[in-house]
């Protein structure tokens, strides 16, 4: 991302931002191998933002991103959010990510929150009314949240003493 995106258009969270109380971070592992990660940021009590979605290049095309995104959407619904937003790159290299988001029912929208119009950004949104709407097929895979060896992060809603969550599955 840093190689193809101008610095002023990079909105990825650094480690400190991932540690903020309104962010929950998950990672997907195969044994000791990190496959991918994603985060959910609370924008307000009814709206979340998908952040820090990444899949290791060697693991793309295996459903890692789909499983992480499905987990994030499920958590957003569990929290009672009405809407999920996201920002991703506009360059051709980001087309697989945009296609993933479209498969899950995200649609283009304008800037939200602190974002401003940027030719290098694509903004997308998804209403969370129907739990089955926009769910991509990920048959045969399961993901669970577990408090084991995950990168740093805290649960949203200011939960005291909450441990980091890792998304684990057998690949």
Domain extent, residue 21, equals 7-168
pLDDT higher than threshold 50 for residue 163:
no
Arithmetic mean of pLDDT, 42-46: 96
Both tokens of 27, joined, read 């990672």
Count: domains in the chain: 1
Q: What is the pLDDT of residue 84?
A: 98
Q: Parallel, antiparallel, or unpaired for β 166-168 and 23-30?
A: parallel
Mean confidence (pLDDT) of the chain:
77
pLDDT tier for residue 14 given thresholds of 50, 70 and 90: confident
User: Residues of the chain with pLDDT > 70: what percent?
Assistant: 68
Provide the whole-model pTM.
0.74
21 in any annotated domain: yes
- Of the given ranges (39-48, 62-71, 141-150), which has the lowest mean pLDDT? 141-150
pLDDT for position 11: 66
Distance CA 31, CA 79 (A): 29
Determine, yes or no, domain membership for 2: no
Residue 7 or residue 13, greater confidence: 13
**Is residue 162 domain-resident?**
yes
Torsion of CA 127, 71, 165, 51, to 10 degrees: -50
CATH of the domain at 132: 3.40.630.30
Alpha helix stretches (DSSP H) within the chain: 15-18, 64-78, 95-103
The whole-number pLDDT of residue 169 equals 40
Name the residue with higher pLDDT: 63 or 136.
63
């Amino acid at each position: 991302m840093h190689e193809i995106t101008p610095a002023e258009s990079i909105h990825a969270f650094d480690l400190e931002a991932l540690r903020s109380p309104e962010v929950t971070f998950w990672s997907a592992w195969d044994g000791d191998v990190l496959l991918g990660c994603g985060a959910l940021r609370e924008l307000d009590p009814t709206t979340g933002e998908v952040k820090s979605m990444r899949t290791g290049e060697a693991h793309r095309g295996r459903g890692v991103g789909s499983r992480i995104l499905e987990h994030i959407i499920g958590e957003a619904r569990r929290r009672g959010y009405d809407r999920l937003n996201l920002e991703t790159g506009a360059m051709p290299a980001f087309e697989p990510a945009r296609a993933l988001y479209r498969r899950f029912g995200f649609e283009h929208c304008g800037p939200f929150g602190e974002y401003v119009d940027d030719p290098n950004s694509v903004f997308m949104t998804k209403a969370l009314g129907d739990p089955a709407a926009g769910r991509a097929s990920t048959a045969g895979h399961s993901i669970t949240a577990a408090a084991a060896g995950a990168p740093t992060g805290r649960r949203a809603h200011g939960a005291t003493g909450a441990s980091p969550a890792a998304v684990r599955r057998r690949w």
